């Protein structure tokens, strides 16, 4: 193995420590406690795990955590009413509605009903517009975590060739905007991209966010490139349940200059950035 391993777990612990220090200061100097509300509709097991983890870490950094668990058959109107109530609650600075929502609920409608100032996911159309025009916005947590690790590893990203594989609203598109904001030359590759191997092979930075287990083999990676693996895929191998990324870690780590592992790479950074966004929302609301 030749690549440097980018330790997202340790990085996330440092981010949480800084957030906790700011929370203490906000409490002492302004008498406010940042509050995060997480709304879960239904009983998707993966979502339940994420929500539990978010609540635990929110409390650990000294913030107030509120969880609303609603039945899978909750009406859209009832969910919108809850979001309205949270929008008006002065003790809540961040609102996260866990996705995916059940099919009978219009996801875009719900996301866009969250006050943009409390939209700690950065999914509201106002925040998407602000990010794409380079203005101050709430930045989606997973891409923000990737950017922090890339900046930490490289210093300046200016002029680097970056390829983002995947075009989701949650990761791919905002990731591309952030890299462009840091003056990378950015390509978004996706399932219809022709000669995707060649496109990836040109990149100094590869961010893989497609949700397909080990789709990117080492021989697609330019020697020395930095690989950020956003994928968290559960597979069966040798009779065991295993978590793997979108990149084949074994072969890619022989070629890359630096790589994030799965687990322990991007994953822990997502919640750390959610806490950082909640702190930012609270600080903006108070001053």
The smaller minimum CB distance to ligand GUN, of residues 105 and 221, is found at 105
CB 148, min distance to ligand GUN, A? 15
The number of beta carbons lying within 10 Å of the beta carbon of residue 234 is: 10
The smaller minimum CB distance to ligand GUN, of residues 121 and 204, is found at 121
Distance, in Å, from the CA atom of 147 to the CA atom of 275, rounded to the nearest integer, reads 16
Distance, in Å, from the CA atom of 108 to the CA atom of 185, rounded to the nearest integer, reads 30
| 232 carries a ligand binding annotation | yes
CB 283, min distance to ligand GUN, A? 21
Q: Name every residue whose Cβ is closer than 8 Å to that of residue 87 and which is 6 or more positions away in sequence.
A: 95, 113, 114, 115, 118
Residues of the shown chain interacting with ligand GUN in the complex, contacts defined by CB under 6 A: 96-99, 121, 141-142, 170
Catalytic choice (57, 118, 119, 121): 121
The smaller minimum CB distance to ligand GUN, of residues 62 and 211, is found at 211
Three-class SS state of 13 = helix
CB 248, min distance to ligand GUN, A? 23
Catalytic choice (54, 118, 160, 173): 54
Tokens of 55: 């609540």
Residue facing ligand GUN at closest CB distance = 99
CB 111, min distance to ligand GUN, A? 8
Three-class SS state of 188 = strand
Q: Name every residue whose Cβ is closer than 8 Å to that of residue 234 and which is 6 or more positions away in sequence.
A: 241, 242, 243
| 166 carries a ligand binding annotation | yes
CB 194, min distance to ligand GUN, A? 29
First to last CA, the chain: 49
Give me the phi and psi of 206, to 5 degrees please.
-120, 125
The smaller minimum CB distance to ligand GUN, of residues 37 and 221, is found at 37
| 168 carries a ligand binding annotation | yes
Q: Angle at which helices 45-60 and 8-30 pack, to 10 degrees?
A: 50
Among this protein's residues, is 121 annotated catalytic? Answer: yes
Among this protein's residues, is 98 annotated catalytic? Answer: yes
Residue that the structure tokens 């349940």 belong to:
241
Among this protein's residues, is 78 annotated catalytic? Answer: no
The smaller minimum CB distance to ligand GUN, of residues 139 and 225, is found at 139
Alpha helices in the chain (DSSP H): 8-30, 45-60, 76-87, 107-111, 125-132, 141-154, 172-181, 196-201, 249-255, 266-285
Tell me the binding residues for NADP(+): 166-168, 232
Annotated binding site: 166-168, 232
What positions carry a catalytic annotation?
54, 98, 121
């Amino acid at each position: 193995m030749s690549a440097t391993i980018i330790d997202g777990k340790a990085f996330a612990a440092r981010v949480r420590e800084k957030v906790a220090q700011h929370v203490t200061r906000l409490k002492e100097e302004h008498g406010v406690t940042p509050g995060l509300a997480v709304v879960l509709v239904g009983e998707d097991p993966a979502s339940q795990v994420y929500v539990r983890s978010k609540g635990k870490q929110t409390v650990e950094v000294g913030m107030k955590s509120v969880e609303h668990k609603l039945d899978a058959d909750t009406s859209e109107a009832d969910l919108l009413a809850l979001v309205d109530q949270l929008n008006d609650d002065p003790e809540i600075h961040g609102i996260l509605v866990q996705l995916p929502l059940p099919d009978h609920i219009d996801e875009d409608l719900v996301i866009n009903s969250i006050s943009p100032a409390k939209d700690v996911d950065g999914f509201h159309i106002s925040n998407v517009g602000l990010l794409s025009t380079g203005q101050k916005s709430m930045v989606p947590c997973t891409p923000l975590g990737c950017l922090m690790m890339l900046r930490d590893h490289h210093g300046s990203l200016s002029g680097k060739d970056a390829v983002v594989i995947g075009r989701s609203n949650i990761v791919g598109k905002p990731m591309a905007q952030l890299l462009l904001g840091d003056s990378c030359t950015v390509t978004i590759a996706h399932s219809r991209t022709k000669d995707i191997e060649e496109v990836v092979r040109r990149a100094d930075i590869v961010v893989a966010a497609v949700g397909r287990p080990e789709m990117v083999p080492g021989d697609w990676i330019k020697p020395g490139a930095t690989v950020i693996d956003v994928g968290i895929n559960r597979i069966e191998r040798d009779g065991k349940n295993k978590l793997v990324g979108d990149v084949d870690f074994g072969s890619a780590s022989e070629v890359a200059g630096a790589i994030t592992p799965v687990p322990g790479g991007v994953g822990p950074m997502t919640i750390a950035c959610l806490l950082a966004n909640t702190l930012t929302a609270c600080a903006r609301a108070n001053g």
